[in-house]
């Protein structure tokens, strides 16, 4: 038996990286998986891989900064699979991906809008269904940089990424307490630097890659599947007494 047999999971940012790893792992553990991404083609590719292995999956597009799209997405999941048990808020951006002509304020607004507001809007839409059912698990993707500041030289103090992820950590605490007696758990993952599209510009730089590896006591960066296994724990009933927490999956980074 799989650890998520009979459950339905919605994963945002499912087209690549940690989101894709979560979608495929959750399917392997028995879940119906709805793969959502701003780039619907990439989400469909992940869903097709799941379907090709005999799993149950569907895909759709979503801009998590738009409330109506978040609400509509939850309705699509309900129509497709008849329920919603798990939400993984993996959609996210970094200022490194912003247009070069944007100033610091435009980048800050964009990152906060996607990473923090987007997590809130998707959680709001999903929690309405979960609270009515009296069961559910929301897994938010935060970051080690939501728990500690960037290492010296990696930020000018106005980088919106740690600001957004720190907000996700606090949102997780608040939602976790608010929903605790109603059957819905809310937790966050705080990955260390992990090989994804968001970090590619850093890890493609040989000197930067060595610097980042040196910041992790294990001497290496994370792989998406390693984060996905932690998400699986939080999504499953194995973590039934865990809510409002932020789990660092970081090779020892925040233990220093």
- Tokens 């994804």 belong to which residue? 196
Closest CA to 84 of 13, 36, 149, 144: 36
Q: Is 150 a catalytic residue?
A: no
Catalytic residue among 135, 150, 161, 233: 161
Q: Rounded to the nearest 10 degrees, how much is the dihedral formed by the CA atoms of 176, 131, 7, 35?
A: -80
- Alpha-carbon gap, residue 45 to 32, rounded angstroms: 16
Closest CA to 151 of 219, 211, 217, 221: 211
Query: In sequence order, which residues have a C-beta less than 8 Å from that of residue 234 and are 6 or more positions away?
Result: 137, 139, 185, 187, 189, 242, 247
- Partners of 58 in the β-ladder: 34
**What three-state secondary structure class fits 142?**
coil
Active centre residues (catalytic): 161
């Amino acid at each position: 038996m799989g650890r998520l047999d009979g459950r339905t999971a919605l994963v945002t940012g499912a087209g690549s990286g940690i989101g894709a790893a979560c979608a495929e792992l959750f399917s392997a553990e028995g879940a119906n998986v709805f793969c959502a991404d701003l780039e619907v083609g990439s989400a469909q590719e992940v869903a097709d891989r799941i379907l090709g292995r005999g799993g149950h999956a569907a895909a759709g597009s979503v801009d998590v900064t738009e409330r109506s799209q978040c609400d509509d997405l939850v309705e699509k999941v309900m129509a497709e699979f008849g329920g919603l048990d798990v939400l993984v808020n993996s959609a996210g951006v970094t200022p490194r991906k912003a247009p070069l002509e944007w100033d610091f304020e435009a980048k800050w607004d964009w990152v906060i809008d996607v990473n923090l507001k987007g997590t809130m809007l998707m959680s709001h839409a999903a929690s309405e269904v979960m609270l009515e059912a009296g069961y559910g698990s929301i897994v938010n993707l935060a970051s080690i940089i939501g728990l500690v500041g960037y290492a010296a030289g990696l930020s000018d103090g106005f980088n919106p990424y740690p600001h957004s992820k720190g907000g996700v950590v606090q949102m997780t605490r608040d939602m976790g307490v608010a929903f605790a007696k109603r059957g819905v758990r809310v937790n966050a993952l705080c990955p260390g630097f992990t090989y994804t599209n968001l970090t590619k510009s850093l890890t493609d730089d040989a000197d930067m890659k060595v610097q980042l590896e040196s910041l992790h006591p294990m001497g290496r960066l994370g792989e998406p599947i390693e984060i996905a296994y932690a998400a699986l724990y939080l999504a499953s009933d194995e973590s039934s007494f865990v809510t409002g927490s932020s789990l660092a999956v970081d090779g020892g980074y925040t233990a220093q």
